């Protein structure tokens, strides 16, 4: 029997949800812009429509997807799919079993199945699924999840379990442009990789869907086409400290080689020090704060550093815009929630940031990170005070990373870094760091510089950044010409510069523990 299944490009799979459209937006118009932008596959997902209006909407939807030669998949409803001659049906674990769907729709239609574990994946593959939707990767507010999110490692486990079966896969749940590089590159091995991402809210709620989908499709294609096992140790499941240090040493000189622009909107106290630290590492600082600069800079930017230390409404608005513009261009956005829970105003502002922006890395001191994670966290002004157990620190970074789908770094005597799965403790640093202003902000700057050149593995970028700055602080403090905070501050910039030019010395100095 010959099979005429439509050829499908799974890279950017839009799953619809009309309730998420921006206010006043027409669904079909929005869809058309998404298709113009580069969505490669569409699933019409309607949970509350009666059959007749569902068929009517599916017909209208298909008229548009046909215009762009993009296949249309119908969620759940075999009858609706048949009624409009859609390309296929997507079923979940509680929907009609695959064999029955196949019986109704025949061999020339696509059947996609949602799977959440290895067993469901095996069943779907054996029953003849045409593709798998693996999820949920992360928390999502689009659907009530009955099971814990898989995380990137959970996705990888499922991909490995169906290795060699030749069934395309997409991941779903909490996916946006910012976390797509990590998702695709870190779920891949040398033999398995995702074929694309399925996205609901990020695309449905976009106010500029054409441009957004264009940017998003570029990010996906870039990472799907180069997906092979991440070359870094943080991309696998070993916990090898020496291999991690090798990766750090490889990363440091890339900043000087590539010289990325690192745009900062930071607080008044640290502008100069942050710019000098950026230069010391070989990157280019730009400290522009005007909202009209933000979009232009996002085009050429390497990474965006946002530091909420100076709370001011105009600057906050510029920062939110900067976060959104940089995400749109696929650049990492690093957030320093200075004094995040210290005052009521700061609580309001930090929660606005966390609601309206998709951060790549959140880097704060223990008061800020424990506070945001809801695990206490004390501060005096914007400085962190008080102590905490390692287990609490590790839990805080991990939970916050999972909640915000990013990497979280918490600085203190020991620094803790997590991507939501793994936690790494960093023991380097010197107490003189606490005697100068803005050393925490400088750490965030350095994370920005590293993230600008390592755009798939932000756990590595953050660990590398903090370790490099910490070792520079030890080297500075140990210099005979350093008498105290004033000389330490200049020596720190010098030592950062020296380390950047001779990173090999990191090998013997680095003190890193996987937890």
According to DSSP, the residues that pair with 43 across neighbouring strands are: 15, 73
Measured from each CB, the residue nearest to Mg ion is 92
- Answer positive or negative: Cα dihedral of 315, 418, 364, 261: negative
CA distance 317 to 384: 26
Cα angle at 113 between 109 and 117, to 5 degrees?
Answer: 155
173, 332, 377, 412: residue in contact with ligand 3NM (rule CB under 6 A): 173
Picked from Mg ion, ligand 3NM, none, the partner binding residue 135 (CB below 5 to 8 A depending on kind) is ligand 3NM
x/- site string to ligand 3NM, residues 387 to 426, per CB under 6 A? ----------------------------------------
Task: List for the chain the helix, strand, coil content (%; round to 5).
Answer: 50, 15, 35
| Residue 175 lies near ligand 3NM (rule: CB under 6 A) | yes
12, 15, 132, 477: residue in contact with ligand 3NM (rule CB under 6 A): 15
Task: Tell me the closest approach of the beta carbon of residue 144 to ligand 3NM, in angstroms.
Answer: 9
x/- site string to ligand 3NM, residues 94 to 133, per CB under 6 A? --------------------x------------------x
CA distance 289 to 285: 13
Picked from ligand 3NM, Mg ion, none, the partner binding residue 71 (CB below 5 to 8 A depending on kind) is none
Residues of span 130-159 touching ligand 3NM by CB under 6 A: 133, 135-136, 140, 142-143
According to DSSP, the residues that pair with 407 across neighbouring strands are: 361
Residues of span 68-87 touching Mg ion by CB under 5 A: 76
H or E segment to which residue 164 belongs: none
27, 49, 68, 92: residue in contact with Mg ion (rule CB under 5 A): 92
Task: Tell me the closest approach of the beta carbon of residue 374 to ligand 3NM, in angstroms.
Answer: 23
CA atoms within 13 A on the CB side of 502: 9
| Residue 172 lies near ligand 3NM (rule: CB under 6 A) | yes
x/- site string to ligand 3NM, residues 198 to 217, per CB under 6 A? -xxx----------------
- Chain position carrying tokens 């602080």: 473
Residue tagged active-site, from 34, 213, 441, 449:
441
CA distance 81 to 113: 15
Picked from Mg ion, ligand 3NM, none, the partner binding residue 173 (CB below 5 to 8 A depending on kind) is ligand 3NM
CA distance 203 to 15: 9
Residue 449 tokens, joined: 């510089």
- Chain position carrying tokens 């203190």: 412
| Residue 247 · residue 464 · CB < 8 Å | yes
Residue 64 tokens, joined: 């548009």
| Residue 443 lies near ligand 3NM (rule: CB under 6 A) | no
Pick the closer one to ligand 3NM by CB: 76 or 325: 76
Task: Tell me the closest approach of the beta carbon of residue 158 to ligand 3NM, in angstroms.
Answer: 12
Please state whether 438 falls in left (phi above 0), alpha (psi between -120 and 50) or beta.
Answer: left
**Quick check: is 3 catalytic?**
no
Picked from Mg ion, ligand 3NM, none, the partner binding residue 143 (CB below 5 to 8 A depending on kind) is ligand 3NM
Picked from ligand 3NM, Mg ion, none, the partner binding residue 155 (CB below 5 to 8 A depending on kind) is none
Nearby residues of 131 by Cβ (< 8 Å), 6 or more positions away: 8, 10, 110, 112, 113, 167, 168, 169, 170, 195
Please list the active-site residues: 441
Q: Binding residues for ligand 3NM, per CB under 6 A?
A: 15, 114, 133, 135-136, 140, 142-143, 172-175, 199-201
């Amino acid at each position: 029997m010959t099979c005429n299944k439509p050829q499908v490009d799974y890279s950017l799979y839009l799953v619809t949800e009309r309730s998420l459209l921006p206010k006043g937006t027409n669904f079909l118009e929005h869809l058309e812009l998404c298709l113009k932008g580069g969505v490669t596959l569409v699933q019409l997902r309607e949970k509350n429509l009666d059959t007749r209006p569902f068929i009517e909407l599916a017909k209208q939807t298909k008229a548009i997807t046909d215009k762009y030669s993009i296949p249309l998949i119908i969620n759940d409803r075999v009858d609706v799919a048949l009624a409009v001659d859609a390309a296929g049906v997507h079923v979940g674990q509680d929907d009609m079993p695959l064999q029955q769907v196949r019986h109704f729709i025949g061999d020339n239609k696509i059947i996609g199945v949602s799977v959440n574990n290895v067993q469901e994946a095996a069943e779907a593959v054996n029953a003849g699924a045409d593709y798998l939707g693996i999820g949920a990767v992360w928390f999502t507010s689009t659907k009530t999840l009955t099971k814990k999110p898989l995380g990137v490692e959970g996705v990888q486990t499922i991909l490995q379990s169906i290795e060699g079966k030749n069934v395309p896969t997409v991941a779903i749940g909490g996916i946006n442009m910012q976390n797509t590089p990590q998702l695709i590159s870190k779920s891949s091995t040398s033999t398995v990789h995702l074929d694309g991402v399925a996205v609901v809210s990020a695309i449905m709620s976009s106010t500029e869907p054409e441009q957004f989908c264009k940017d998003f499709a570029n990010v996906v294609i870039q990472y799907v086409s180069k997906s092979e096992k991440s070359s870094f140790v943080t991309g696998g499941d070993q916990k090898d400290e020496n291999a991690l240090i090798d990766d750090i040493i490889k990363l440091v000189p890339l900043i000087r080689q590539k010289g990325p622009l690192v745009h900062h909107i930071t607080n008044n106290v640290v502008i100069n020090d942050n710019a000098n630290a950026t230069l010391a590492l070989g990157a280019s600082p730009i400290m522009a704060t005007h909202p009209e600069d933000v979009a232009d800079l996002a085009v050429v930017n390497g990474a965006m550093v946002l530091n909420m230390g100076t709370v001011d409404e105009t600057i906050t608005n510029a920062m939110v815009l900067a976060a959104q513009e940089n995400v749109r261009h696929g650049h990492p956005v690093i957030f320093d929630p200075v004094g995040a829970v210290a005052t009521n105003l700061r609580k309001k502002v930090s929660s606005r940031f966390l609601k309206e922006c998709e951060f790549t890395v959140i880097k704060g001191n223990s008061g800020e990170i424990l506070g945001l994670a809801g695990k206490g966290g004390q501060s005096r002004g914007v400085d962190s005070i008080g102590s905490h157990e390692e287990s609490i620190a590790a839990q805080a970074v991990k939970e916050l990373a999972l909640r915000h789908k990013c990497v979280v770094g918490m600085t203190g005597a020991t620094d803790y870094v997590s991507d939501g799965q793994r936690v790494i403790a960093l023991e380097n640093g010197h107490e003189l760091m606490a005697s100068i202003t803005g050393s925490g902000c400088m750490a965030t700057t350095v994370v920005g510089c590293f993230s600008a050149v390592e755009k798939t593995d932000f756990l590595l970028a953050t660990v590398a950044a903090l370790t490099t700055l910490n070792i520079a602080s030890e080297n500075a403090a140990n210099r005979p010409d350093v008498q105290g905070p004033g000389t330490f501050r200049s020596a720190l910039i010098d030592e950062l510069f020296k380390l950047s030019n001779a990173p090999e010395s990191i090998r013997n100095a680095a003190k890193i523990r996987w937890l």
